[in-house]
Amino acid sequence: MIKLEQPKLYIVSPAEFEIDTFAEQLKSILDTVEVSCFRLALSTQDEKIIGKSADLVRHICHSRDVAVVIENHFLLVQKYGLDGVHLSDGSRNVGKARKNLGKDTIIGAFCGSSKHDGLIAGEAGADYVSFGPLSKTTLRDGNIAHSDLFKWWSTMIEIPVLAEGALDKKVIGELNNLTDFLAFGDELWQKKNPLNELNDLLGYSQ
């Protein structure tokens, strides 16, 4: 059955950020717009930086009843009191992460535009599957996850689906009843005022 409810909001961190500035930006968003989940998606491999950032966002998000997942580093989930992991390599490590983290931890898998990989991720125990990007981009392999993919998934598959990457107003309108989550990342952080940009993308008055 096609989903009819409005998509929930999911926020993805920038790959790098100045911690004090970002903290205020994140608080501003979470105090204004209802967000279901936040993903810490840092490019650094320095665990000290990741850990400090994880402690910060956990405090900000959990005090506002927002779940926190970390990108890829599933061995850090329990160490830093996070709610789960988002795996960027499709279905490859879903089973391993589930075995390590147990049944109650959130596991998401980014599957590009591959319906097949999404199905395998779901079978391996993913709590949600992510498809994207949604419009033209030079990132990854350049393939786009079209609205037909989300329509098929929403009709045929019960596992929640998330749309991410190069979201714009047109795409958001097309996906309004076809996805469980809309994930906003660089669309916000590349702007001077991320909250205003989010409101604009969602069509909220400012």
Domain boundaries, the chain: 8-202
Task: Say whether pLDDT at 2 is over 60.
Answer: no
The predicted pLDDT at position 139 comes to 55
What is the CATH topology of the domain spanning 8-202? TIM Barrel (3.20.20)
The answer, as to whether pTM is greater than 0.75, is yes
pLDDT tens-place string over residues 142-195: 689 999 999 999 999 999 999 999 999 999 999 988 999 999 999 999 999 999
The predicted pLDDT at position 4 comes to 43
The predicted pLDDT at position 5 comes to 65
The predicted pLDDT at position 66 comes to 98
Q: Which residues of 143-157 are buried (b: 16+ CB within 10 A; e: fewer)?
A: ebbebebbbebbeee
pLDDT band per the 50, 70, 90 thresholds, residue 141 = low
β-strand partners of 129 = 109, 161
